[in-house]
Amino acid sequence: MPRPGFVLDVDRSTPPILFWRGENFSLEKLPAGRSRVIYAPEPLPAIDDVDGAIRNALLNPIDQDPLPAQLFAGMKLTIAFDDVSLPLPKMQRPDIRQRVIEAVLDLAAEAGVDDVHIISALALHRRMTEAELRHAVGDRVYDAFAPRGLLYQHDAEDPENLAYLGATPHGEDVEINKRAAESDLLVYVNINLVAMDGGWKSTATGLASYKSLRHHHNPDTMIHSRSFMDQHRSELHKSNWRMGKVLLDSGVKVFQIETTLNTDTFPSPFGFLAKREWEWKPSDRMTYIGTTKALNRTPNRIARNIFHSIEAPHQMTSVQAGEVEAVHRITTEHVYKQQLVEVKGQTDILTLGIPYISPYNVHSIMNPILVMCMGLGYYFNMYKGMPLVREGGVIIMTHPTRPEFHPVHHPSYIDFFEQVLADTTDPHVMSQKWEKQYAEDEWYRHLYRTTYAYHGVHPFYMWYWGSHALKHCGRIIVVGGDPKTVRRLGFVPASTMDDALEIASDVVGRTPTITHLHAPPLMVADVS
């Protein structure tokens, strides 16, 4: 029986706590008596018969006819799937998407469906490479569809292949992939890693155009999403749900398949990363020392390659299919069951160890903007109820925050860093002053469409992601970060955790309460 999440009160006997620092980690001693550490629940047991469960979900969907009943010869069937941003880290083969897509294709074949398109729903993310596509959908599906041009990637900037479906009562344009919109049935294959994923966000965001996305990816929506992990208090989700209504009304038929994974994040040699420090065995300690010592002597580029080759032993804990909203309700329950940790009260200082990976740098570089997004956009938002850190409190992140960028994946990030952040770090100001220029830039559009680059506007979205935290917190400190880079982000650099606490003291006093979110593995704090 896996143990639930746990909040540890740090006392004098508590060993130093593990903090992620990009492609490395450190052990930090937190002050006794006023610090606590939030640990994620242990991975839930997986479903043994994954293929059986998938088939069962397809044959017995929620609030919809069984999938075979919806398939007929001569129909247009489109299967859309979540892109490379999920799950994190990438899961060991076979990927759950491959299993679901193969099951759907089997049923389609039985029904004599021969017009099938498979689309990677990447919104404004970068296109997936061939290797990444093969990893997600499997070689069999790839070889059968890709060479004939039937397996491809959504293009949010291709006017020929987008369909405008109308606007919500709030005036939000709904424009999604034309093939998906015009199919007799759209099957969406999702991986619900966190509570934010899935539901109408799958289709209304994953398959949308920039014109449509900008209505909910902006500072106002983001600042009023409290949090992204709590659908009912998230403007982002409300907007997506309104768009879902437009999709339904315009006749788009969606068969939603959602899956949840347990938090079995790291394979065996890295097992200690998910363990509670006082339970470390001598072998864990040795591995920790060996790994950090070795990483200190490893060039960044190589360390990065080592970490990005990690494949997680994630296992499926649930699969449900059918009507979008009904399916998503059950999915969310499963996610919460795995990730929710009850926490009493807010804290003065929230400490976060930023790891090497975020949804936007798979096989790539965690650049400074993504560091900000990971800390203030994701980890800060890992709450239900109220933020872990009190209003006016301090966030301390640990990450090297080097001014490093992937030239192919993040070209507009480089310019955003040099141009926009040099000018302003205020999400509202930059959205007024700079966003349009980047969003409509011909060169970024060209790179997004033909190479493996994120859309020109993407760095803005990453920055907006942290809008609420920027407004909420009194100071952001980065321990171990490159000082010039950290200052460019508008944060304060500190060389050690002690220095950071010292720097925080003029905002939160000399004896602040401190809370450390011990992630990954991921968790959501239910703060009351």
Partner 1 sequence: MISERLAGRRIAVTGATGFVGTALVERLLRSVPDCTVVLLVRNGRRTSAVDRVRKEILKNNAFDRLRAELGADFDATMARRLSVVAGDVGTDGLGLNDADRTTFATCDVIIHSAASVSFDSPLDSAVEVNLLGPTRIANLLNDHGPRDDGTFPHLVAVSTCYVAGNRRGTAPEELVSDGPFDIGLNWRTEVAAARRLRGDSEAASRLPENLARFRSEARSELGAAGAPALAEKTEQIRERWVKDRLVEAGRTRAASVGWPDAYAFTKALGEQALTESKGAVPVSIVRPSIIESALAEPTPGWIRGFRMAEPVIISYARGLLDQFPGVPEGTVDVIPVDIVVAAIIAVAALGPSEAPAITQVASGSTNPLKYRTLVDNVRDWFTEHPIYDSQGQPIVVPDWKFPGRGTVEKQLTRAKTLITRGEKVLQALPLRGTQAEWSAKLEDRRSDVERALEYVELYGLYTECEAIYSVDNLLSINDRLDDEDRRNFCVDPRVVDWPTYISTIHLPSIVLHSRVKTTPGKTVVDRADRLRKQVLDPRRHVAAFDLENTLISSNVVESYSWLATRRLNSPERLRYVLRTLREGPSLMSMDRKDRSDFLRYFYRRYEDAPVEQIDADARELLAQLIMTKSFPAGLRRVREHRALGHRTILITGAMSFAVEGLRPLFDEIVAAEMTVRPDGTYSGELSRVPPTGETRAQVLADYCAAEGLRLEESIAYADSSSDLPMLEAVGFPVAVNPETRLAAIARKRGWLVENWEKAEGGPRPLLPIGPRVSDGEQKRFTTRTGRIGTRRNDR
Residues that bind partner 1 (CB under 8 A): 130, 143, 146-147, 300-301, 365, 367, 402-408, 411, 414-415, 418-419, 437, 441-443, 445-447, 450-453
Residue 402: CB minimum distance to partner 1, A: 7
Residue 436: CB minimum distance to partner 1, A: 12
Nearer to partner 1, 93 or 471 (CB): 93
SS3 state at 457: coil
Question: How far is Cα of residue 97 from the mean position of the Cα atoms in its chain?
Answer: 16
Nearer to partner 1, 288 or 452 (CB): 452
Residue 353: CB minimum distance to partner 1, A: 20
Residue 311: CB minimum distance to partner 1, A: 20
Nearer to partner 1, 116 or 469 (CB): 116
Nearer to partner 1, 453 or 492 (CB): 453
Nearer to partner 1, 143 or 182 (CB): 143
Contact 482, 403 (CB under 8 A): yes
Contact 79, 183 (CB under 8 A): no
d(CA 305, CA 370): 18
Nearer to partner 1, 333 or 441 (CB): 441
Helix 235-249 × helix 324-339 angle, to 10°? 150
Residue 15: CB minimum distance to partner 1, A: 33
Contact 156, 455 (CB under 8 A): yes
Nearer to partner 1, 60 or 450 (CB): 450
Residue 244: CB minimum distance to partner 1, A: 34
Residue 428: CB minimum distance to partner 1, A: 23
Cis previous bond, 87, omega within 30: yes
H or E stretch including 421?
A: helix 421-423
Furthest-apart CA atoms within the chain: distance in Å: 71
Nearer to partner 1, 375 or 411 (CB): 411
Residue 483: CB minimum distance to partner 1, A: 16
H or E stretch including 446?
A: helix 442-450
User: Phi and psi of 308, rounded to 5°?
Assistant: -75, -10
DSSP state of 312: B
For residue 217 the two structure tokens come to 């990816």
Cα-trace Rg, the chain: 22
The burial class, CB within 10 Å (0-12 / 13-18 / 19+), for 18 is: buried
Strand partners, 78: 117, 186
Contact 315, 262 (CB under 8 A): yes
Residue 76: CB minimum distance to partner 1, A: 25
Residue 404: CB minimum distance to partner 1, A: 3
Nearer to partner 1, 348 or 435 (CB): 435
Q: Helix %, strand %, coil % for the chain, to 5?
A: 40, 20, 35
For residue 410 the two structure tokens come to 């993040």
Nearer to partner 1, 403 or 474 (CB): 403
d(CA 195, CA 228): 8
The residue assigned the tokens 């499926």 is: 316
SS3 state at 363: coil
Residue type, 383: Y
